[in-house]
């Protein structure tokens, strides 16, 4: 294990890193609230997507599994939370979130069992097939999911009995930020735990990990389940804040976008996932408002520029640049 740790990880200053992360998230949350008080719905959507992108980072950045089908887990969480509210009358938001996480974890187990059977391109194709299967099943089971009309009739109680989910989405927004903080701290602990190290080892060299006696498949599958729970929380947050779940939350589109956001920010650091999500969604919002005809061209050009000039993603390249500067300054 020690061998695997040496190059990629700064072993010191880890608690500090987490603290900085917490501070940045809180600060960004407050700034966002005051800068865009009329656009909290968008900000909440960004937070929910961030949870999805973080969950992809767990399997892609830490285990090296390329997936274009992660929205299946997000959508499972959204439908899980939505269905218990709309059909079973469980409207307590915390319970809904937990059920969303559980649904996401189960979806993670199922899709993990399928996707992890192959590597490389076939794996990518399997993940695409899985998200399409989920999509078709949700479409067909319209009695439960509302089909292509979307699942409506989701109601939520006041959060902790105190805060009603209001029309402006303030409660949903702060609930989202709180969830993001909790998930972020838990994931930091997770990726720095021995299990997280093992996962990195699997990404670096699966054969070596297998030779050391660890089961590569079981590590990846466990990570997939955890990732499913995180994505499920994101989906549940989306269901709670918008009170509707559409088929698009299970779509290939959503998966592809989320992967693009992750790679844009940089894989394998958690921060990259968050930076990528905010940049992409903010950029998309601004550009599509400024020029609805050309926004896709500009987003495409941005992606090409990032690949050419910041191959490790925005956060990854910035971090590498800073550490190089620091190294040079010594």
Partner 1 sequence: MSPKGDRGGDATVRRMDRTQHLRQKPPSALPGISPSRGEIGSRHRIKPHHKDVHPRMQTVLSIAIDALAYGMVLFVISIGLSVTMGLMRVVNLAHGAFAMIGGYLASYVTRDLGLGYAPAILIAVIATAIIAVPIERLLYRRIYGAPELTQVLMTIGITFCVIGLANYAFGPTLKTIPLPETLSGSIDLGFRAIATHRIFAIVCGVVVAFGLWFLIERTAFGIRLRAAVDNAPMAAALGVRTQLVYAVSFAVAVGLAAFGGVVGAELLPVEPYYALRYMVTFLVAVSIGGAGSIPGALIACLLLGAIDTTGRYLAPEYGEFFFYLAVIVIVTLFPRGLAGRFK
Kindly list the residues in this chain that would bind partner 1 in the complex (CB under 8 A): 42, 60, 66, 68, 114, 117-122, 124-126, 128-130, 132-133, 135-137, 139-140, 148, 247-248, 251-254, 256-257, 259-260, 263-264, 267, 280, 284-285, 288-289, 292-304, 306-308, 311
Give burial (CB, 10 Å; 0-12/13-18/19+) of 139: middle
Give the number of other CB atoms < 10 A from CB of residue 268.
22
Token couple for 97: 């979130």
Q: Which is nearer to partner 1, 233 or 254 (CB)?
A: 254
Minimum Å gap between C-beta 136 and partner 1 is: 4
Minimum Å gap between C-beta 52 and partner 1 is: 13
Q: Which is nearer to partner 1, 88 or 293 (CB)?
A: 293
* Phi/psi of residue 245, nearest 5 degrees: -125, 120
**H or E element, residue 255:** helix 252-265
**H or E element, residue 70:** none
Q: Which is nearer to partner 1, 92 or 204 (CB)?
A: 204
Minimum Å gap between C-beta 223 and partner 1 is: 17
d(CA 277, CA 275): 6
Q: Which is nearer to partner 1, 128 or 158 (CB)?
A: 128
Token couple for 26: 């809180």
Q: Which is nearer to partner 1, 22 or 318 (CB)?
A: 318
Minimum Å gap between C-beta 293 and partner 1 is: 6
Minimum Å gap between C-beta 66 and partner 1 is: 5
| Residues ≥6 apart with Cβ < 8 Å to 2 | none
Minimum Å gap between C-beta 303 and partner 1 is: 3
Q: Which is nearer to partner 1, 158 or 298 (CB)?
A: 298
Q: What is the 3-state secondary structure (H, E, C) of 191-246?
A: HHCHHHHHHHHHHHCHHHHHHCCCCHHHHHHHHHHHHHHHHHHHHHHHHHHHCCEC
């Amino acid at each position: 294990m020690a061998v695997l740790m040496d190059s990629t990880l700064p072993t010191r200053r880890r608690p500090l890193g987490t603290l900085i992360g917490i501070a940045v998230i809180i600060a960004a949350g407050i700034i966002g609230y005051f800068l865009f008080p009329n656009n909290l719905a968008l900000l909440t959507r960004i937070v929910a997507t961030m949870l999805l992108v973080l969950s992809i980072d767990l399997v892609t950045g830490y285990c090296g599994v390329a997936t274009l089908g992660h929205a299946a887990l997000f959508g499972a969480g959204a439908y899980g939370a939505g269905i218990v509210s709309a059909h079973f009358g469980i409207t307590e938001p915390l319970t809904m979130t937990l059920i969303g996480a559980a649904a996401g974890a189960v979806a993670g187990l199922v899709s993990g069992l399928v996707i992890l059977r192959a590597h490389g391109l076939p794996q990518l194709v399997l993940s695409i097939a899985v998200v399409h299967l989920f999509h078709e099943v949700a479409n067909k089971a319209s009695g439960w999911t509302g089909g292509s009309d979307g699942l409506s009739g989701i109601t939520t109680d006041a959060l902790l009995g105190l805060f009603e989910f209001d029309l402006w989405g303030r409660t949903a927004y702060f609930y989202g930020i709180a969830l993001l903080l909790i998930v972020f701290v838990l994931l930091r602990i997770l990726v720095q735990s021995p299990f997280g190290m093992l996962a990195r080892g699997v990404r670096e060299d699966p054969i070596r990990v297998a030779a050391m006696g660890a089961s590569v498949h079981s590590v990846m599958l466990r990570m997939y389940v955890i990732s499913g729970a995180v994505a499920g929380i994101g989906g549940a947050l989306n269901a709670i804040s918008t009170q509707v779940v559409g088929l698009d939350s299970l779509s290939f589109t959503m998966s592809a976008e989320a992967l693009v956001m992750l790679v844009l920010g940089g894989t394998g650091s958690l921060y990259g996932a968050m930076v990528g999500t905010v940049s992409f969604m903010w950029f998309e919002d601004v550009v599509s408002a400024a020029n609805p005809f050309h926004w896709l061209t500009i987003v495409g050009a941005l992606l090409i520029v990032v690949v050419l000039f910041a191959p490790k993603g925005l956060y990854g390249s910035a971090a590498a640049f800073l550490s190089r500067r620091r190294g040079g300054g010594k």
